Chain A
Amino acid sequence: MTRSLTYVEALREGMRQEMERDETVFVMGEGVGLRGSAFKQTAGFYDQFGPERVRDTAISELAIAGAAVGAAISGMRPIADLMWIDFTTLACDQICNQAAKLHYVSNGQIKVPAVFRATTGHLRGQAAQHCGSWYAFYCNIPGLKVVLPSCPSDAKGLILSAIRDDGPVIYLEHKMLLNVREEVAEDLAPTPLGVAAIRREGADLTLVASGLMVPESLKAAREVEAEGVSVEVVDLRTLMPYDSECILRSFRKTGRLLVVDEGFRYCGLGSEIISLVIERAMDYMDDSPRQLTARHTTVPFSPPLEDCVFPNSRTIAAEIRDMFGLVKL
């Protein structure tokens, strides 16, 4: 059975189903209990599962993350809500030095089945310290998996996989997608980690994106279709380990690449995907690969300033036109 659910509702349903199925799963974080989380991700959980498994905490990111790791290495499956990815910097030691490393450094004695959830990306007026897209940083740490759903079905499918995974997973929720709606199956199968999705088939250009950049790219792809450019849109879904095979398969077909990345440009995800195709599919290349990223700046507050920073459907379409020498009609 499918119902129309928002991204947040789908995420919530995924967590609820896992908590019903597996009593070692629990949620902890600032306001996950009585308030039901900052964006209602856990609304109703406190009444359904009680305060033991839906644990309101202090604003104490290091202890939230560390307690999640400690619980995970001793038989539990915690979901730690760190609210904003910008705040995960306060928990970094426990995520990057502990969660990511304990399985390896203990030579496999220890497993760390913990999920660290945080919202990511920009939202009008959130400015300098609430608009982070820090995923490239976490992708760079051996031992972590990073996922970012772009639609309600994956919001649910990826949380199911993240909770069931035996290693630490950073699960990112895009703030601009929280109210996006689609039909979602009640008995949805988990979205496998490490597998991208082709959101739109095309012959001329491989466009790789994730999160909010997926719907923005699809909009741009529809626009330039009328101008004769057929764009294939690859939704990464899992940012680490990303689906290199899917990207390469698409690129070998189109010979052109544009990565649209809400994160920053230098040493970022866009550069990573470009280096992948250069190293592995140079022979198929018809044009210089490109990336369209957030500008290398602190995110400003005022709307006309903020509008200059992130890619959107308009700037994506303009970039595609530039690649194909088109003039906007």
Chain B
Amino acid sequence: MNRKTKLALLEMMLRIRKTELRLAEIYRSGDLTGALHLYEGEEAIAAGVCAALNRDDFITSTHRGSGHCVARGMPLRTLIAEVYGKATGCCGGKGGHMHMFDVDAGIMGTTGIVGAGMPLATGLGLSIQLRKTSQVAVAFFSDGASNNGAFHESLNMAAVWKLPVLFVCENNGYATSVSARRSTSVTDIGVRGAGYGIPGVTVDGNRVDRVYQAASEAVRRARAGEGPTLIECQTYRIRGHYEGDDWWEYRDSAEVEEARRRDPIAFWQAALVEDGVLGEKTLDEMNARIDSDIEDAVQFAAASPLPEPEQAFVPAHPQPA
């Protein structure tokens, strides 16, 4: 990995983290409606996987999806404006945080249905194969979704047809409030790849370099027509299922504190300093760039108009006259 990529991975993780924390802050202030599912602590996965993709590749995401959107380069302005429900949001306020789309960035949707992105990514892979382009499709999903029927049907279909799909399982330890320990039949979800005759790898999802490597190999395989790969990235969901979740009801704070010590950004930052790749000046510039982009986006979103009420019926749904 060259110096530029190493720094880009750090900057992307920081960009995701700071965006998430800023959203949490705005949420606490009461300016946002709806539910907010944040990605703090899992940034290495979105950053590592998306760094291995091209601009015209596709992703499907989850309810915890703003990190993936940032990593795919969705403009922060339209992202944050959407979370505010503003007319200038990526979906004009139709979607909100849980349903964000940006076709130009290949983001074919965050979704409120656990597991729903996998069949869609399978279809995107099918379309790529039929249209004979060299794109790939990535389905981000969770340990929880890996217990859903959509996982089985999608991996089987993608494997049978050798579709160019990456199934990226973000094993963050919890399916809403139930731990993977108590709900998942295996410790390493990567082993499930064998059930479909495809490579299934398990990597430390807090090591952005390892995620990037695994994703790069899976992308290579996909573009070469060798079919899908299951990549399990083991990480930890630092925050509650949603902002305001009483997570102490189902897990110990000691567990959360332990996970905080394995912070993917702190690790990578230290590694780059030790490498001699990252100096204080570079880091300061990086932080300043990100802070200024986020501040600009928040101001843009806050100042943007709400949608006009009649926009509720645009695009129109088919209905009798």
Write the residues of chain A forming the contact surface with B, with a CB cutoff of 8 angstroms.
26, 52-53, 55, 57-58, 60, 62-63, 65-76, 78, 93-94, 97-98, 102-110, 142-145, 167, 193-194, 240-245, 276
Contact of A98 with B116 in the complex, beta carbons under 8 Å: yes
Cβ B113 vs Cβ A142 within 8 A: no
> Contacts of A241 on B, CB cut-off 8 Å?
318-321
B67 interfacial by beta-carbon distance below 8 Å: no
13 pairs from A and B in contact (CB 8 Å cutoff): A58-B153, A65-B119, A66-B122, A67-B123, A70-B137, A72-B123, A74-B58, A78-B123, A98-B120, A109-B101, A109-B102, A109-B103, A276-B320
For residue B297, CB closer than 8 A to chain A, the reply is no
* Chain B residues whose C-beta falls within 8 Å of the C-beta of A60 in the assembled complex: 153, 156-157
Is there an interface contact between A108 and B126, defined as CB atoms closer than 8 Å?
Answer: no
Known contacts A63-B150, A110-B108, A241-B318; can you find 20 more A-B pairs with CB under 8 A? Answer: A58-B160, A62-B153, A63-B157, A67-B122, A70-B137, A73-B108, A74-B58, A74-B131, A78-B123, A98-B111, A104-B317, A105-B94, A107-B90, A107-B91, A108-B315, A109-B101, A109-B102, A194-B318, A194-B320, A243-B321
A74 and B128 contact, CB distance less than 8 A: yes
Measured CB to CB, the nearest residue on chain A to B106 is: A74
Q: How far is the CA of A60 from the CA of B118 in the complex (A)?
A: 13
The answer to whether B124 and A71 touch across the interface, beta carbons within 8 angstroms, is yes
Q: In the complex, what residues of B have CB within 8 A of residue A240's CB? A: 318-320
B94 in contact with A70 (CB, 8 Å): no
> Does B102 lie within 8 Å of A69, measured CB to CB?
no
Task: Give Cα A110 to B160, complex, Å.
Answer: 27
Residues of B within 8 Å of A108, CB to CB, are: 314-315
Shortest B201–chain A CB gap in Å is 23
Residue in A73, A240, A243 whose Cβ sees the most chain B Cβ within 10 Å: A73
Does B199 lie at the interface of the complex (its beta carbon under 8 Å from any beta carbon of A)?
no
Asked if B130 is an interface residue, CB under 8 A from chain A, the answer is: yes
Q: Are B130 and A105 in contact (CB under 8 A)?
A: no
Question: Please, which residue of chain B has its CB at the minimum distance from the CB of A272?
Answer: B320
Q: Is the CB of B113 within 8 A of A93?
A: yes
